[in-house]
Amino acid sequence: MTRPWTPATAEAAALPAPLELPSPLDLPAEIALPPDAAARMRARLGEALAALADPDPAARLDRLTALRAELGEGGAPTAPARRTAIPAGPEDVEDFDRYFRVRRIESEAPAEEMLRGLVHVAAAVSSLALRGPDLPPEALAAQVAGFAAHARALGRVCGLETLP
């Protein structure tokens, strides 16, 4: 059963702004994690997948919010984009980032940054689901399934083939 949306619920679920993401140009296709970091990433991905599997949007939001807090703050801000790998120029990317409140960051741990971004967005969607019937259940289910697929893909990028 979902909790009704209230200002208190919204305040409790307030997301940090902005969404922190590594630059797409800096993302590796494979990330070799040392054993201790791999164990932490496996556990955190497991927590994310368990939260996403929770059918109650309020409980899902609570679990994602707790995981987001556990993940902590992101890396250092990057300099503005000088080049892109897409037809858009740097000023277009900066406009996009400003509009969607994205802050590009540099990090020695890109996998954690990608997980942090995934959890941030999944929590935002879960928060929206609590606000009312505007988000059809089928659309919400598709979003949540997409977040879970993203988490499993991140696991594969990190060499974590089997996740809980």
The 10s digit of each residue's pLDDT in 114-149 is 899 899 999 989 998 888 778 888 988 999 999 999
Is the pLDDT assigned to residue 37 strictly greater than 70? yes
pLDDT band at 28 (very low <50, low <70, confident <90, very high): confident
What pLDDT sits at residue 7? Answer: 47
> pLDDT > 90: what percent of the chain?
40
Class of residue 5 by CB neighbours under 10 A (exposed 0-12, middle 13-18, buried 19+): middle
Which among 51, 58, 53 is positioned nearest to 5, based on CA atoms? 58
How many CB atoms sit inside 10 A of residue 126's CB? 28
Helix (H) or strand (E) holding 106, with range, is strand 102-106
E strand or H helix that includes residue 143: helix 137-157
**Stretch 33-37: mean pLDDT:** 93
- pLDDT digits 0-9 by tens, 41-92: 999 999 999 999 999 889 999 999 999 999 987 766 665 665 556 677 777 7
> In the sheet where 102-106 sits, what is the strand order?
19-22, 102-106, 76-77
Please name which of 95, 102, 93, 113 lies closest in space to residue 17, comparing C-alpha atoms: 102
CB 20 within 8 A of CB 103: yes
